[in-house]
Chain A
C-alpha cells in the first residue's frame, strides 16, 4: 500500500506567490495533520483535521490554510509565501486523534 503521499517532493517558490502542498492517504485514517520541521526545533503542528469536513489550528497556523473535503486528501495552501515559510513540511495521518501518526516523506519548500 502507498500509505501517505506528499507532492511535490521539493519546490522553490518566489515570495508572494501562492502554493498548495498536496497530501493523500489510502489508509482511511480519520485524522490528518500538517507539521513543519525546522533546524533546531521539533516538529510543529500547523493545522489538523480530526475527520472529513472539520479542521483545526495548531501551534503555527498563520499564513497557512487547509481543507478536508474527503477522508483521503488534506491539502495545505500558502496564500502568499514569505521566506520564513522555508521549511520541510510533513503530512501525517492517524486512525484517530490519539493513535500512532504515520508520516509522509516530506516536502522541502524554499521561499526566495
Chain B
C-alpha cells in the first residue's frame, strides 16, 4: 500500500472555480510535506512546503493545509486559471532517511474555459 494516497485521481473544473485536492499519508514520523505541480512533459516544481508544526501556508492562489494528527493535507486552488491544468503531487519526507521521499500518484487537474 502506498504511504501517500491522493484524491481525486483526476478533476475537471471550469475556469474561475475553486477546487481542493486531498493527500492522506501514513509516513511517520515525517519531516515535511510538499505539494508539487507537474505540467505535461515537464518535471515537478515545488509549490509549498509544510513542516510538522504548520497548519496553513499560501502561495498566491494556492493554499496548503496540514493536519498532522489525522495525517491529511489539502491543496486549495482559488479562482482557477487555464494554466493551473497540471498534475499535483503530494510528497512526504520522513524524519529518517533524507533521500527517501514518498510520492503520491498525483491528481490530474484540467481547467476548462
Contact = CB atoms under 8 A, between A and B. Distances in A.
Given A40-B105, A42-B4, A98-B93, A106 B43 contact: yes
A90 interface: yes
A43 B103 contact: yes
Contact of A45 (B2, B42, B89, B101): B101
A83 interface: no
Interface in A7-66: 31, 33, 40-45, 48, 50, 56, 58
Contacts of B2: 42
A92 B34 CA distance: 15
Contacts of A58: 99
A58 B34 CA distance: 20
A44 B102 CA distance: 8
